[in-house]
Chains A and B, each alone.
Chain A
Amino acid sequence: MIDVQDLVVSYGTATALEHVTLTVAEGEMVALLGPNGAGKSTLAGALAGLLEPASGTVRVRGRLALIPEGRQLFPDLSVADNLALGGWRSGRRDPALVYDLLPRLAELAGRKAGVLSGGEQQMVAFGRAMMSEPDALVVDELSLGLAPNVTADLAAHLAELNRSRGLTVLLIEQNARLAFDLCDRAYVLESGRLVTEGPCAELAGDPRVASAYLGGAIS
């Protein structure tokens, strides 16, 4: 579904991603872990077609939607308008489908997106991505700045969509615990290079991963 081969992305003379190879099969939920500045959001941008690779290939079968880091809503527009614009690619204008999925959004429909709480904004970003009726979803930092119960709620929705509709998910996270709970496999990206990959159960037992991302303890 998502197939990245030998990808290099540069900003001017600085290389953000160096020869990254990563695949996500149809219906799979895969995590991408890494510290700040590792190049995670660059990879997200390349997958969404927002950045041109310097070399290598990015192949996506079907439609891919991105929930970008920091939500990136249209603050001056209403929630309903934010959602409607999410359907730019699919041609879907009516957010009813998203309201079924996330009923809270129906209550917020008339509010301006810029005045909502972080959790509500993330929910709008989630709904907006779903409006494009994606086959694959890239979620860049789902949990960043959110209360644990809000994150858990959104994660549950994500897992449900993966189960019921076979939505392919690439979860880009710093919160390894959340990523390991949700996903079967994970990649670890550091300074633009993939340093390790494997099933989450194995990675959680890797002392290097445990010390860097799980605070040294494996729960």
Chain B
Amino acid sequence: MSAFLTYLLNGLAVGCAIALIASGLVVIHRVTGVVNFAQGTFAVVAGLCVSSLLGLGIPHGVSELAAVTVAAFAGLLAGVAAIGRRGTTPLSSLIVTLGVGVLAYAVEIVLWGDQPRSAPGLAGSVTLAGARVQTQHLLVIGVTAATFVLLALFFGRTYLGKALTACASNPYAARVVGIDVRRMGLLAFALGGLLGGLAGVLVTPLRPISFDTDVTLIVNGFAAAVFGALTRPVVTLAGALLLGVAETMAAGYGYGSHQLEVALGLMIVVMIVQASRRSTLSQEVT
């Protein structure tokens, strides 16, 4: 029983990290209509940065903050590449984000090499109802919960957040009232970079990160985002938690090498279900 609880809590922490990646995908897709396949790259950049900065003796807090800022800047750059040119279709932008991801590989290998890097996180563990949980896992869960609350407040309560929602809701109308939709798209990309970076600095102490870790991250993040139809943050969070728990359980009970397949399998099932539901809906309409 205690093993089950340990897997559950660890799984929730993994799910939270996935949720942060996925929420970045959702924010960018909602505002710009672009599926950003460079989303995992932001986490890798932040993870590699934080390992270097801590290695240089820069204190915790400052290092993480700097790494997340670098990721947000990387997000902005990816945005400039993907939607900077007027009239780029979302599909072309998607291809550009794939290109950005590959380009990032080269930059990361030059700067950090191709070996996995780790970073120290919160040391120690606590016992909850008989289950031992690493403190870093609890930190991941806490930071993710706070981030989702802040995101909801930002989009629901602030003028800038509402302007971003307006761009998602009706881009033409947003232009009519004078909102620069492209600039809002770049802001969304920077926010996506920040969320990805947050995931990166939280995950790096748990599992070493290398230039190509973005593939695992994006597959998981995309699976969760698809669960929320790439537009609904709360459903995305639920999908990410489910995915995190499923993967950790699979690993815990002896199927460790099949974690990614669990994510892919779940993603395919969700896509098939959603596609069939959509076609049923359109049949009802016609």
Contact = CB atoms under 8 A, between A and B. Distances in A.
Interface in B157-208: 159, 162-163, 165-166, 168-170, 172-179
Contact of A89 (B165, B169, B178): B178
Interface in B204-237: none
Question: DSSP majority for the B interface?
Answer: helix
B170 A73 contact: yes
B165 A77 contact: yes
Contacts of A68: 172-173, 176
Nearest to B86: A52
Nearest to B166: A74
Contacts of B176: 48, 50, 66, 68, 72
A74 B173 contact: yes
Contacts of A88: 163, 177-179
B111 to A, nearest CB: 40
Interface in B138-163: 159, 162-163
Contacts of A74: 165-166, 169-170, 173-174
A85 B179 CA distance: 9
Contact of B177 (A75, A76, A89, A93): A89
Interface residues of A, number: 19
A81 interface: yes
A84 B162 contact: yes
A72 B172 CA distance: 8
Contacts of B174: 74, 85
A132 B178 CA distance: 9
A58 to B, nearest CB: 16
Q: Which of A66, A85, A128 has the most CB of B within 10 A?
A: A85
Given A84-B159, A85-B179, A88-B179, A76 B165 contact: yes
Interface of A: 48, 50, 66, 68, 72-77, 81, 84-86, 88-89, 93, 128, 132
7 contacts: A50-B175, A74-B166, A74-B174, A76-B169, A77-B162, A85-B162, A88-B163
